[in-house]
């Protein structure tokens, strides 16, 4: 079931919400139990068979966690982590493994048809973090209903945030459970913004991006403008898709009276790749850093070890997103970016360079380079296979020797293009690029991503998520910040109506596939 | 206290907004019920065997309908293609026939569909209605059909919201259960109820809703004026946004379909389907580019398939403007002419299965008309017999 579908909004959500209000009046456990049942129903809507998988996973991890809380045992921890990784490995990677083996060794290994259960990457990582925290004495034994809700709570179940036991459990245990009026107003407002981002912005961008990646997979030669138009559109599509999902998750959590951790904080405003990963999928970065990067040595063992650790973490992080060479290379590409970024920072520190009065220009260059790197890397992430990715890269680089522009631009740009040794081809070779209309739309969306305050900043006076968010500076920005006023109510209602008018054919969130 | 009141007012308005959304949602469920959206497709097809019913799926996405029909009928001959294949009818053949047209609208989709269709049941002969325009478009990625939509209770709301049909029809269906009153044939499925057009038991389409409405209110007739057609041709040639030579990917896809059918021992006859005489005239009179791509295609396709039939120009086989539903859709008589032409081809595999005498009689009797008003469905629309869709019908 999708957050942006009518069955979710008009049936599932109201029934779950009012059921929770009634249940929690009777008892805390009944309220939490109701949410567990609703979340399992939500999960089972995709494929009921896999409800047993998530229940089985919860039972095993709960028991192991219980044992670890009672007695610290590295064997129990290893068994638990191993079991989780084995389950994830079987469902997520066995297909890729057998396919690769079949190709390399001309073998006939099966497993290509193993279906990837929805959200398995998320609930597996969440439970691994629980076991490690239990081993380290950071969590106590909890009631099984509380644990079940920690794993299955539907706003975060499918695509994060990856919540820590210690972040959510105190909220389940607090004296008065259930939403206050403030929670409902904040929750619905944040959800509405997320819904708008998804159905109005991201889904529109998909109409520019999907055809390019679709035809690239069919081996059709992609022109320069088509490829850049499609890749930039995808770069913004995944931004607003994931941002929209993250807002909706936080909004839904708050609607039920719970605060979820922030997972997305204007990553395209980053001035370098390291900063990007502190803002994009924050809870995944946190998991990888704490449970993989630090145990590998982190930045404690010299540069070589640090860079090796970064590469391992990013390659595995890439592979976490999907079983495909494209994801692995995408992770690797980001690993290289981060290593170069660290090396550059070391060099700048050593040399004592300061941008001085060129700070503004320095920021523009830093932003541009970062955005370019991220966007170029998305090709590997999105393309159906490596051939399709290379097809798009060829188009972006103009390597087919053609510089394809609409005929209307020919007179204007001909001298420049000719001086570069490139030639124009006819407009009819351009398949999808829509000219200034597309450029204008992408520019407007980029403006929204870069200039306006993000949803959590918009809500900073009322803290929608778990972490306090600094109130942005600037008089104009502050004027925009949410408050429970009629003006903001009007804004929320308007975006709800606009979103509702666009959501007749709900599309999946991009992060649902992981 | 004051702040609490603010939140209470805020939430009250949000609650009202939710109630508005909910009311729309409930209305969609009622429309779905009233348009037989919850009746299983198998049951509808069974009922069509005994009763005269025109059916068009709730979402006008006939993939599920046509695949179920294909499995159920397991016919020897099938027709596939876009809406331009839906006038092939069972009565033209002496062997079992199913029309699976209306599902595909692109060469790439045709490839997907033929694989799926042959997997379900292998016919002896496939008549593949090929649209020449498809060879000049960029490929459409993704999956062309959405099976899950058939069970989406909010689909009627979505279709009205997306402008697929008018809100007026939505409210009529909600309140009365019917959009067209006193229609002579039972209509099932949202699209059939809204338009009055639907698929018969053999999977072919009847457009009597159009005739019926024009009889009643004089509303819907052949809407393609010469100017409109000129504009559409202009947009689909080099002057517009398409190329004027067939795209290599489309030709490759075409060849791959032929090879696949051959490997499955299924005879496939690609048929270049007709455009109205007025369209052909505009193409003849217009700039050279209007015909360039089509002429190239007519030259190239026969080389890619052992069987191939070119019926793109109806003037070549005596079908005039009056036999067309619109600029790109021939009527029943045009398609009878095509079937007859297919059986006349040298070495035609269809020849033993075509009811030539019946077709000849029908062509003679209904010449210059769009629809045949006899048989279980047609006889209910005797008054529609002389309906002429084209405003220029008779002048050409």
**Is some CB atom of chain B closer than 8 A to the CB atom of A181?**
yes
What is the pLDDT, as a whole number, of residue B390? 63
- Tell if the CB–CB gap between B157 and A504 is shorter than 8 Å: yes
Q: Which DSSP symbol is given to B354? A: B
What is the pLDDT, as a whole number, of residue B377? 85
C-alpha distances (whole Å) from A418 to each of A104, A335, A402, A425, A430 are 46, 37, 11, 12, 19
Q: Which helix (H) or strand (E) holds A502?
A: helix A486-502
Residue A215 near residue A433, CB atoms below 8 Å: no
Chain B residue numbers touching A431 (CB-CB < 8 A): 138
Which pTM value belongs to this model? 0.76
Q: Which residues pair with B188 in a beta bridge?
A: B55
Task: For residue A210, give the nearest of B6, B141, B238 by CB distance.
Answer: B141
Which residue of A lies nearest to B245 if distances are taken between CA atoms?
A428
Residue A381 near residue A332, CB atoms below 8 Å: no
Q: How far apart are the CA of B62 and the nearest CA of chain A, in angstroms?
A: 17
CA distance B204 to B202: 6
**Is some CB atom of chain A closer than 8 A to the CB atom of B249?**
yes
- Kindly report, residue by residue over A487-509, the tens digit of the pLDDT: 999 999 999 988 887 776 666 66
Least confident of A157-166, A207-216, B139-148, B301-310: B139-148
- Check the CA dihedral A325-A326-A327-A333 and report its sign: positive
Least confident of A338-352, A428-442, B337-351: A428-442
CA distance B23 to A368: 48
pLDDT band at A407 (very low <50, low <70, confident <90, very high): low
Between B322 and A411, where is the model more confident? B322
Task: For residue A428, give the nearest of B13, B17, B238 by CB distance.
Answer: B238
- Tell if the CB–CB gap between A504 and B8 is shorter than 8 Å: no
**Is some CB atom of chain B closer than 8 A to the CB atom of A355?**
no
Q: Which DSSP symbol is given to A264? A: -
Which residue of B lies nearest to A7 if distances are taken between CA atoms?
B154
Q: Residue A470 pLDDT > 80, yes or no?
A: yes
What is the pLDDT, as a whole number, of residue A440? 86
Instruction: Tell me the backbone φ, ψ of residue B310, rounded to 5 degrees.
Output: -110, 105
B117-152: string of b/e by CB count within 10 Å (b at 16+)? bbeeeebbbbbbbbbbbbbbbbbbbeebbeeebbeb
What is the pLDDT, as a whole number, of residue B395? 44
CA distance B81 to B396: 29
Average pLDDT, chain A: 87
Q: What is the dihedral of CA B245, B247, B253, B257, to 10 degrees?
A: -10
Q: Give the highest mean pLDDT range of A5-14, A272-281, B364-373.
A: A272-281
What is the pLDDT, as a whole number, of residue A117? 84
Chain B residue numbers touching A493 (CB-CB < 8 A): 13-14, 17
Q: How far apart are the CA of B293 and the nearest CA of chain A, in angstroms?
A: 13
A-to-B residue pairs, Cβ atoms closer than 8 angstroms: 82
Q: What is the SS3 assignment for B183?
A: coil
What is the pLDDT, as a whole number, of residue B96? 96
Q: Judged by CB atoms within 8 Å, which residues 464-493 of A form the interface with B?
A: 484-485, 489, 492-493
Name residues of chain B where pLDDT drops below 50: 1, 214-222, 385-386, 395-396
Q: What is the value of ipTM here, to two decimals? A: 0.79
Looking at chain B, which runs of residues are DSSP E strands? Answer: 53-55, 77-80, 97-99, 125-130, 186-188, 198-199, 205-206, 267-272, 309-310, 324-326, 329-330
**Is some CB atom of chain B closer than 8 A to the CB atom of A82?**
no
What is the pLDDT, as a whole number, of residue B283? 85
Chain B residue numbers touching A47 (CB-CB < 8 A): none
**Is some CB atom of chain B closer than 8 A to the CB atom of A501?**
yes
Residue A391 near residue A219, CB atoms below 8 Å: yes
- Tell if the CB–CB gap between B7 and A181 is shorter than 8 Å: yes
Q: How far apart are the CA of B141 and the nearest CA of chain A, in angstroms?
A: 5
Q: Which residues pair with B324 in a beta bridge?
A: B330
What is the pLDDT, as a whole number, of residue B77? 97
What is the pLDDT, as a whole number, of residue A353? 84
Q: Identify from B1, B13, B14 which residue to disrupt to test chain A contact, counting A C-beta atoms within 10 A and taking the largest count.
A: B14
What is the pLDDT, as a whole number, of residue A432? 67
**Is some CB atom of chain A closer than 8 A to the CB atom of B142?**
yes
Mean pLDDT for the stretch of residues A273-286: 94
Active site residues of A: 321
- Kindly report, residue by residue over A32-84, the tens digit of the pLDDT: 999 999 999 999 988 888 899 999 999 999 999 999 988 888 999 999 999 99
Q: Identify from A426, A500, A504 which residue to disrupt to test chain B contact, counting B C-beta atoms within 10 A and taking the largest count.
A: A504
**Is some CB atom of chain B closer than 8 A to the CB atom of A218?**
yes
Chain B residue numbers touching A217 (CB-CB < 8 A): 141
What is the pLDDT, as a whole number, of residue B48? 93
User: CA end-to-end span of chain A, whole Å?
Assistant: 15
Chain B residue numbers touching A492 (CB-CB < 8 A): 14
The distance of Cα B79 from the centroid of its chain, to the nearest Å, equals 12
Q: Give the highest mean pLDDT range of A106-115, A470-479, B133-142, B230-239.
A: A470-479
């Amino acid at each position: 079931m999708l957050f942006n579908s009518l069955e979710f909004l008009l049936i599932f959500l109201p029934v779950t919400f009012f059921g929770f209000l009634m249940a929690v009046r009777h008892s805390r456990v009944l309220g939490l139990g109701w949410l567990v049942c609703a979340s399992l129903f939500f999960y089972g809507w995709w494929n009921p068979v896999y409800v047993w998988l998530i229940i089985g996973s919860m039972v095993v991890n709960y028991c192991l966690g219980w044992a670890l809380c009672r007695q610290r045992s590295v064997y129990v921890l290893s068994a638990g982590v191993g079991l989780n990784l084995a389950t994830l490995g079987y469902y997520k990677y066995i297909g890729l493994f057998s396919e690769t083996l079949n190709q390399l060794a001309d073998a006939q290994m099966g497993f290509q048809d193993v279906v990837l259960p929805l959200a398995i990457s998320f609930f597996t990582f969440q439970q691994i973090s629980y076991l490690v925290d239990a081993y380290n004495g950071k969590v106590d034994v909890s009631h099984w209903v509380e644990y079940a809700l920690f794993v299955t709570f539907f706003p975060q179940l499918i695509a994060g945030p990856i919540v820590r036991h210690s972040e959510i459990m105190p909220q389940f245990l607090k004296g008065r459970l259930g939403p206050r009026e403030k929670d409902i107003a904040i929750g619905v407002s944040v959800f509405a913004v997320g819904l708008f981002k998804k159905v109005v912005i991201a889904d529109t961008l998909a109409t520019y991006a999907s055809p390019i990646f679709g035809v690239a997979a069919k081996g059709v030669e992609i022109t320069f403008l088509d490829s850049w138009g499609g890749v930039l559109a995808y770069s913004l599509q995944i931004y607003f898709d994931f941002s929209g999902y993250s807002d909706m998750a936080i909004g839904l959590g708050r609607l039920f009276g719970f605060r979820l951790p922030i997972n997305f904080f204007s990553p395209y405003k980053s001035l370098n790749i390291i900063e990007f990963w502190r803002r994009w999928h924050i809870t995944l970065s946190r998991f990888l850093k704490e449970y993989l990067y630090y145990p590998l040595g982190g930045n404690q063992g010299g540069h070589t070890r640090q860079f090796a650790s970064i590469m391992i973490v990013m390659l595995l992080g890439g592979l976490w997103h999907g079983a495909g060479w494209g994801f692995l290379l995408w992770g690797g590409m980001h690993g290289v970016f981060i290593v170069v970024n660290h090396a550059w920072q070391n060099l700048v520190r050593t040399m004592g360079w300061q941008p001085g009065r060129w700070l503004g220009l320095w920021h523009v260059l830093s932003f541009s380079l970062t955005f370019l790197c991220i966007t170029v890397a998305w090709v590997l992430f999105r393309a159906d296979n490596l051939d399709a990715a290379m097809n798009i890269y060829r188009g972006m680089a103009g390597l087919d020797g053609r510089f394809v522009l609409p005929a209307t631009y020919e007179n204007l740009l001909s001298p420049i293009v000719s001086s570069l040794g490139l030639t124009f081809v006819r407009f009819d070779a351009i398949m999808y690029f829509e000219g200034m209309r597309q450029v204008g739309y992408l520019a407007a969306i980029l403006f929204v991503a870069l200039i306006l305050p993000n949803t959590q900043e918009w809500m900073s006076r009322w803290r929608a998520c778990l972490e306090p968010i600094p109130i942005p500076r600037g008089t104009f920005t502050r004027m925009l910040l949410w408050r429970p006023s009629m003006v903001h109510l009007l804004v929320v209602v308007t975006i709800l109506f606009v979103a509702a008018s666009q959501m007749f054919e709900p599309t999946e969130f991009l992060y649902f596939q992981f | 206290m004051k702040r609490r009141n603010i939140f209470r007012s805020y939430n009250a308005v949000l609650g009202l907004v939710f109630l508005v959304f909910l009311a729309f949602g409930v209305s969609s469920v009622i429309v779905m019920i009233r348009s037989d959206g919850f009746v299983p497709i198998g049951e509808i097809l069974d009922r069509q065997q005994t009763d005269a019913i025109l059916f068009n799926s709730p979402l006008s996405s006939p993939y599920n309908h046509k695949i179920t029909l294909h499995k159920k009928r397991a016919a020897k001959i099938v027709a596939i293609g876009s809406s331009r294949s839906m006038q092939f009818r069972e009565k033209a053949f002496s062997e079992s026939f199913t029309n699976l047209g209306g599902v595909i609208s692109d060469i790439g989709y045709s490839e997907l569909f033929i694989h799926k269709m042959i997997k379900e049941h292998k016919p002896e002969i496939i008549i593949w209605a090929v649209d020449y325009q498809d060879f000049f478009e960029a490929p459409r990625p993704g999956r062309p059909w959405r099976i899950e939509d058939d069970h989406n209770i909010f689909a009627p709301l979505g279709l009205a919201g997306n402008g697929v049909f008018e809100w007026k029809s939505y409210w009529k269906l909600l309140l009365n259960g019917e959009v067209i009153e006193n229609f002579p044939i039972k209509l099932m499925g949202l699209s059939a109820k809204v338009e009055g057009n639907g698929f018969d038991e053999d999977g072919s389409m009847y457009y009597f809703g159009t005739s019926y409405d024009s009889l009643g209110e004089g509303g819907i007739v052949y809407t393609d004026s010469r100017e409109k057609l000129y504009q559409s041709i202009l947009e689909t040639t080099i002057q517009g946004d398409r190329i004027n030579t067939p795209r290599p990917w489309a030709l490759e896809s075409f060849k791959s379909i032929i090879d696949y059918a051959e490997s499955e021992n299924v005879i496939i006859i690609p048929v270049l389907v007709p455009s109205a005489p007025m369209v052909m005239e505009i193409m003849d009179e217009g700039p050279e580019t209007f015909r360039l791509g089509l002429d190239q295609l007519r030259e190239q396709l026969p080389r890619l398939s052992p069987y191939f039939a070119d019926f793109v120009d109806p003037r070549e086989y005596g079908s005039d403007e009056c036999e067309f539903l619109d600029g790109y859709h021939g009527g029943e008589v045009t398609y009878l002419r095509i079937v007859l032409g297919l059986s006349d081809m040298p070495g035609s595999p269809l020849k033993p299965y075509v009811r030539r005498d019946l077709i000849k009689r029908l062509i003679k009797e209904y010449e210059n008309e769009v629809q045949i008003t006899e048989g279980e469905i047609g006889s209910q629309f005797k008054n529609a017999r002389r309906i002429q869709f084209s405003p220029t019908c008779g002048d050409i």
